[in-house]
Structure 1
Amino acid sequence: MKIITLSREYGAGGHSIGTEVAKRLGIEFYDKDIIAGVARESGIDESLIASKGEEISTAESIIRAITPISYDQKDLIFETERNVIIDIAKKGPCVILGRCADILLKEAGLDTLNVFLYADTASRMKRVGELIGSDNEALIQKTIKKRDHDRHSYYTYFTYQKWGDYKNYNLMLDTGALGYEKCIDIICEAAKN
């Protein structure tokens, strides 16, 4: 069985789907656990790691592209995340949510099933509204836009790849059209082959 990496648009159900895939396959699911591992390895406070999680500003991305790379705290956190993710994956099949795991494990030469989850705007707005406990459409749209922007910037900054580009994934699933159960079935079946 392969190591499964899940990348996702905000509100596409990545955490719910990943948790259920891991449960059905009898393997571990890693999301926030990675933050705890990074904190242990780096000595950096978990709350700081969580706040730096998938956030890179557009300005930081531009500066990195045109100037020599300076080794700051975000780079230290990312390098430590890389090591933690690779160590986790080397232990055997598991599901890893986000954190550029698709590219990191590919670069490490590990056998992965890389999945990207996306959904239509209406499905995502409904899900995010439930997550943040609001029916304010402007707030929900703003939240989705910010989280997707942060993920895109983070992924691009550290991998030099385009987040959501089909070339980086084995499967791209529309959770809004297919529903969570069908996506879970497809991922589980693909992971076994």
Structure 2
Amino acid sequence: MRVVTISATYGTAGSVIGPAVAERLGVPFVDRAIPGAVAAELGCTLEEALSHDDRSEHGLGWLLSGASRLPTATFGGVDVYLPGALPPSPEDFAVHTENVIKQVAHEQGGVILGRAGALVLADHPGALHVRLDAPPRRRILRTAALTGLSERQARKLVEDNDRARTAYVRHFYRADPASPHLYHLVVDSTVIPVDACVELIATASQALD
């Protein structure tokens, strides 16, 4: 079963490339199903699960308003957000999210976008870990072009998303999601066309057989 994790900074078309890679490989694209499964496991609402999910606007909201203001300490040069006045049991949501990701990888395979997949499945045999990234300026301009936002608005959107998703990985995994050592493949999808990115990732995944 093929497993691909994709870590995508805002403005790198992760939500387009992820499903296309899954279709190309003939495996599920696992995204909205993750918080749904977490909600079922914890016996909470989908809205509560989404409020702790790094791919959700609501999840980014609590990271920006809560985790981003937590006291920090430095572990190996990485600023880590320490537990404090967080929404109820955020660690429970993270643990159950990990469990769902691992279950998907073992039982059906798939393409997993975000949620620190490269760290959760670091030891999963045959999993390909991909990072989509590009200089902020190019991501801001692409976001502005696609959304019709002003450049200032696009910059805030990109910066807020980057900060929140980095906070998620640092808080729960004490790691820097931008580190190239976490990935087999790092691709600038603001320069390489989306179709070529999809083919490149799919080919790399197949090469791990």
Q: TM-score, normalised by structure 2?
A: 0.82
2:72 is the alignment partner of 1:62: yes
The partner residue of 1:156 within 167, 170, 174 is 170
Q: Which moved more, 1:43-52 or 1:74-83?
A: 43-52
What are the equivalent positions in structure 2 for 1:25-174 lying under 5 Å apart? 25-54=25-54, 55=60, 56=63, 57-60=67-70, 62=72, 72-107=88-123, 109-129=124-144, 133-174=147-188
Tell me if the contact between 1:5 and 1:98 (Cα under 8 Å) persists in the aligned partners.
yes
Cα distance, 1:170–1:130 mapped onto 2, change above 3 Å:
same
Quote the Cα distance in structure 2 between the aligned partners of 1:50 and 1:75: 14
Find the residue that maps to 2:132 and give its secondary structure: strand
Number of matched pairs: 191
| Structure 1 residue aligned with 2:204 | 190
- Cα distance in 2, alignment partners of residues 125 and 66 from structure 1: 30
- Looking at secondary structure, tell me which structure has more helix per residue: 1
> What is the deviation of 1:111?
2.9
Give the deviation of 1:7 after TM superposition: 0.2
Structure 2: gaps (5+ residues):
55-59, 74-79
Q: For the residues of structure 2 that align with 1:168 and 1:161, how far apart are their CA atoms?
A: 9
TM-aligned CA deviation for residue 96 of structure 1:
0.4
Q: Secondary structure at the match of 1:192?
A: helix
Q: Assess if the C-alpha contact under 8 Å between 1:61 and 1:157 holds in 2.
A: no
Identity %: 26
- The separation in 2 between residues aligned to 1:143 and 1:58, in whole angstroms, is 16
Tell me, yes or no, if the aligned pair for 2:18 and 2:113 is still in contact at 8 Å: yes
Contact 2:68 2:164 in 1 (8 A): no
Deviations 1:127-146 (A, max 9, x none): 43366x43221111101100
Confirm or deny: 8 A CA contact 1:12 1:123 kept in the other structure: no
Structure 1 gaps of 5+ residues are: none
Amino acid at match of 2:13: G
How far off its partner does 1:77 sit?
Answer: 0.6
Deviations 1:14-35 (A, max 9, x none): 1100100111111100111111
